[in-house]
Amino acid sequence: MSRYITRLRMRRTYKWNGRPVGEDRKLKRQYYESMSISVEGKTEDATVSLGQYILIEGDDDDNPFVAQLLKLYTDDSGKKKTAVLQWFVRMCEVPQNKRKLLGRDPHPQEIFFYQDRSCDNEVDGETILGAVQVGIYVPVQDPFPVGKSRDILFVKLLWDTKSFRALDPELMQPSQSPKSPPPSSRGPQTRALPTPDPSVMKRAMSGILTRGSMSTGKMSSSEAESLHSASKLSAAKALSAKRRSQAVSGPQVRKKLDLCTPATPRTPRHATPSIPSRTAPARKPGNVLEEARARLHVSSVPESLPCREQEFQDIYNFVESKVIDGTGGCMYISGVPGTGKTATVHEVIRSLQQSAEQDEIPHFRFIEINGMKMTDPHQAYVQILQKLTDQKATPDHAAALLEKRFSAPAPKKETVVLLVDELDLLWTRKQNVMYNLFDWPTRRNARLVVLTIANTMDLPERIMINRVASRLGLTRMSFQPYTFKQLQQIITSRLNRVKAFEEDALQLVSRKVAALSGDARRCLDICRRATEICEHSGSQKNSSGLVGMSHVMEALDEMFSSSYISAIRCASVQEQLFLRAVIAEFRRLGLEEATFQQVFVQHQALCRVEGLQPANVSEGLTVCQRLGSCRLLLLEGSRLDLFLRIRLNVSQDDVLYALKAD
């Protein structure tokens, strides 16, 4: 397995202590009582034995997972060491929306007994970092002890993914650990800590460097904060420096060490930018037309999404099944712009989150990225990582961290639903971004559902290389452009009994848009414009006050009619003559391209025919450039002066039609 080496990792070696205590012949397992962990560069080995509380390597270096060791065994090859655990959760691992259930502020060192059957409780033995002290406080009313070391964690309550409950002391007894002393019924009880390894690590991270300050357990808060927000690198440095100081423990080394700690406070990592708020709140819509306009704005969130029921159901079922099974998968959604792809997916997620809220399905995280909203395809990693863990990293580092996150078997993992909008922009030459996005869901422990959205139906065939297309799989869905009936229904449902449109007018809009593109955005924009037109004309003549055919026609005209013809009609006499000269010259040459010199000769002749004073070359060139700048003419090689090449950007018939009419 090619795994990225993402952080400065201590190399640890794991060894069984003593002989196996039991054997399961059927499963070919050999059970052990304890394991010793030797860390490179240290003479003393740490030992973890059954019943002890241990730290498990996780995503967050500062807060490793906590668990109680129940079993240790190896398979018959003797290579793979597996640990069976009882998990504990920290407050930061409890879903955000459930934290308030605790009803009080959690103690910073508080952990909770974790009770969830769906959770995988076997981990690779080599992810164990070391032992940790855990104090058990039953009954609940007892206060937390003050002034104790920061390394001791406390358990009071039980968390069963739905609520916090009082902890039954019986649960805390490891079922088959003969060695562990029985928990006393009153008072805090701390277990012996055979190894200093995790505490050393923690101390190094939190900046306690001297023995004296450790014993008091106090440090200046500013120092702690600055160290906490310092980059990983400096934490790692401090760690390795600490190690060295332990080995040598000379005063000179300590001096050096102090230099490592950054003294200047950093700006907060996540500054919150925001647009200043307005002095007075925005005015609410006053009349029916304004109300209708607000409802018809594309940005307003509709109560329901009509006409996409089938697609909604399909996506819902797909995501729901993946979330329930805790597996992963990919889905590709295509459709022309404005057919409700993103809106439907958002709707699906919203209703799934609702049912997760009511505990009908397990919780999941929803993350959205958009190819258009990033500057470079590799920024996708950065954004995913940031939204997942609030970490900032460079693209390469982020890719490595994500790779690790999605391939490592971690317990208590929520399913992540990732929406990738505008997928085609994530294309790179090697396609590694797409490859990774589609490869992660296939990992055994990833629990990742990827929904991708793009415009073209055949995107996988067209731009993806085989191994990428194959991983994307065949779960495809295509959103057809809306038909006129659907468009009509969309408008009606948006208006929701606000009577502002005549029935015919609505039908006209939807038929027109359906014939052109089937883009719902277009449809809504036209309706909005029509209400404006109606409002303006409504003040003049006392009509019904509803948006009628004429208003809609006017709005349609404004948006769809080509402006070339009116531009030609409003052009000056010389400009019109020049266009005619261009056409005359094209006819003479039998080509669709002429040089300025040729056209200019025609132009002068036409001027004489019309009885105007012929323009000189400079004036002629000015006229020509002006037509070129509004793209009635296409000009090539403006350096060439007289030999400027001229083509028409409008059809000859259009020009003649526009010129004839007046």
Partner 1 sequence: MSKRRSLTEAQCVSLAQKLLRERLCHQKLPDRPLALDSQYKHLLELLRRTAVHGESNSVLIVGPRGSGKTMLLGCVLRELMSLKEAQKNVLLVELNGLLQTDDKIALKEITRQLHLENVVGDKVFGSFAENLAFLLEALKKGDKSSSRPVVFVLDEFDLFAHHKNQTLLYNLLDVSQSAQTPVAVLGLTCRLDVLELLEKRVKSRFSHRQIHLFSSLSFAQYVDAVRAQLSLPPDFPDPKFSDAWNHSVTKLCEEKSVEEILRRHFNSSKDFRSLHSLLFLSVSRVSVSHSTLHEADLLEASRLISADSKAIILHGLSILELCLIIAMKHLNDTYDGEPFNFQMVHNEFKKFIQRKSHSIHKFEKPVVMKAFEHLLQLELVRPVDSGVCKVQREYQLMRLMLEHGQVMEALQRYPQCPTDVKQWALSAFA
Helix 549-560 vs helix 520-538: crossing angle, to nearest 10: 120
Binding part of the chain for partner 1, among 12-20, 21-29, 147-155, 331-339 by CB under 8 A, reads 331-339
Binding part of the chain for partner 1, among 29-37, 121-129, 169-177, 333-341 by CB under 8 A, reads 333-341
Which of 236, 367, 374, 656: binder of partner 1 (CB under 8 A)? 374
163-182 binders of partner 1 (CB under 8 A): none
609-638 binders of partner 1 (CB under 8 A): 612-613, 615-619, 622-623, 626, 629-632
SS3 645: strand
Alpha-carbon distance 442 to 439, whole Å?
A: 5
Contact map string, positions 420 to 449, toward partner 1, x by CB under 8 A: --x--x------------------------
Output 240 or 597, the one with its CB closest to partner 1. Answer: 597
Residue 597 found at the interface with partner 1 (CB under 8 A): yes
Residue 537 found at the interface with partner 1 (CB under 8 A): no
Residue 572 found at the interface with partner 1 (CB under 8 A): yes
Q: Which helix (H) or strand (E) holds 580?
A: helix 573-589
Alpha-carbon distance 323 to 413, whole Å?
A: 11
Residue type, 180: S
Residue 382 found at the interface with partner 1 (CB under 8 A): yes
Residue 455 found at the interface with partner 1 (CB under 8 A): yes
Output 158 or 509, the one with its CB closest to partner 1. Answer: 509
Q: Which helix (H) or strand (E) holds 598?
A: helix 596-610
- Residue ranges of E strands in 346-444: 364-370, 415-421
Binding part of the chain for partner 1, among 11-19, 235-243, 480-488, 517-525 by CB under 8 A, reads 517-525
Residue 519 found at the interface with partner 1 (CB under 8 A): yes
Output 416 or 627, the one with its CB closest to partner 1. Answer: 627
**DSSP label of 656:** H
Residue type, 466: N
Binding part of the chain for partner 1, among 138-146, 321-329, 374-382, 403-411 by CB under 8 A, reads 374-382
Alpha-carbon distance 572 to 575, whole Å?
A: 5
Contacts of 62 (CB under 8 A, 6+ apart): 205, 228
SS3 192: coil
Report the nearest approach of partner 1 to the CB of residue 561 (Å). Answer: 10
Residue 391 found at the interface with partner 1 (CB under 8 A): no
* Calculated CA dihedral for residues 20, 25, 26, 29, nearest 10 degrees: 20
Residue 275 found at the interface with partner 1 (CB under 8 A): yes
Output 89 or 627, the one with its CB closest to partner 1. Answer: 627
Which of 337, 350, 591, 636: binder of partner 1 (CB under 8 A)? 337
Alpha-carbon distance 628 to 584, whole Å?
A: 18
121-140 binders of partner 1 (CB under 8 A): none
Q: Assess contact for 323 and 361: CB atoms under 8 A.
A: yes
Alpha-carbon distance 190 to 192, whole Å?
A: 7
14-53 binders of partner 1 (CB under 8 A): none
Which of 241, 600, 644, 648: binder of partner 1 (CB under 8 A)? 600
Question: Is 288 buried (19+), middle (13-18) or exposed (0-12) by CB count in 10 A?
Answer: middle
192-211 binders of partner 1 (CB under 8 A): none
Residue 347 found at the interface with partner 1 (CB under 8 A): no
Report the nearest approach of partner 1 to the CB of residue 339 (Å). Answer: 9
Output 577 or 584, the one with its CB closest to partner 1. Answer: 577
Which residues is 595 bridged to in the sheet? 645
Q: Assess contact for 379 and 311: CB atoms under 8 A.
A: no
Specify whether the backbone of 608 is left (phi greater than 0), alpha (psi in -120 to 50) or beta.
alpha
Report the nearest approach of partner 1 to the CB of residue 270 (Å). Answer: 9
What 625-629 contacts at long range (C-beta under 8 Å, 24+ apart), as own/partner pairs, is 626/575, 627/571, 627/575, 627/578, 627/579
Residue 379 found at the interface with partner 1 (CB under 8 A): yes
Report the nearest approach of partner 1 to the CB of residue 582 (Å). Answer: 16
Binding part of the chain for partner 1, among 92-100, 292-300, 409-417, 504-512 by CB under 8 A, reads 292-300
What's the token pair of residue 286?
Answer: 């006053």
Which of 559, 645, 656, 659: binder of partner 1 (CB under 8 A)? 559
Binding part of the chain for partner 1, among 29-37, 175-183, 403-411, 556-564 by CB under 8 A, reads 556-564
How remote is the C-alpha of 36 from its chain's centroid?
Answer: 41
Residue type, 320: E
How many binding residues for partner 1 (CB under 8 A)?
81
Output 190 or 379, the one with its CB closest to partner 1. Answer: 379
Residue 332 found at the interface with partner 1 (CB under 8 A): no
Q: Find, among 500, 487, 483, 376, the residue nearest to 428 by Cα.
A: 376
Helix 652-660 vs helix 573-589: crossing angle, to nearest 10: 140
Which of 221, 279, 358, 540: binder of partner 1 (CB under 8 A)? 279
Which residues is 111 bridged to in the sheet? 90, 155
What's the token pair of residue 359?
Answer: 């505990």
Which of 102, 224, 236, 294: binder of partner 1 (CB under 8 A)? 294
Distances (CA, A) of 385 to 15, 380, 576: 35, 9, 60
Report the nearest approach of partner 1 to the CB of residue 546 (Å). Answer: 20
Report the nearest approach of partner 1 to the CB of residue 309 (Å). Answer: 23
Place of tokens 């704005």: 297
Which of 289, 439, 604, 624: binder of partner 1 (CB under 8 A)? 604
299-318 binders of partner 1 (CB under 8 A): 299-301
| Buried-state track 453-483, b at ≥16 Cβ within 10 A, e below 16 | bbeebebbeebbeeebbebbbeeebebebbe
Q: Which helix (H) or strand (E) holds 159?
A: strand 153-159
Binding part of the chain for partner 1, among 233-241, 322-330, 481-489, 639-647 by CB under 8 A, reads 639-647
253-272 binders of partner 1 (CB under 8 A): 267, 271-272
Report the nearest approach of partner 1 to the CB of residue 583 (Å). Answer: 18
Report the nearest approach of partner 1 to the CB of residue 350 (Å). Answer: 14
Residue 231 found at the interface with partner 1 (CB under 8 A): no
Binding part of the chain for partner 1, among 91-99, 231-239, 585-593, 596-604 by CB under 8 A, reads 596-604
Which of 169, 174, 194, 285: binder of partner 1 (CB under 8 A)? 285
Q: Assess contact for 454 and 332: CB atoms under 8 A.
A: yes
SS3 519: coil
How remote is the C-alpha of 542 from its chain's centroid?
Answer: 52
Residue 389 found at the interface with partner 1 (CB under 8 A): no
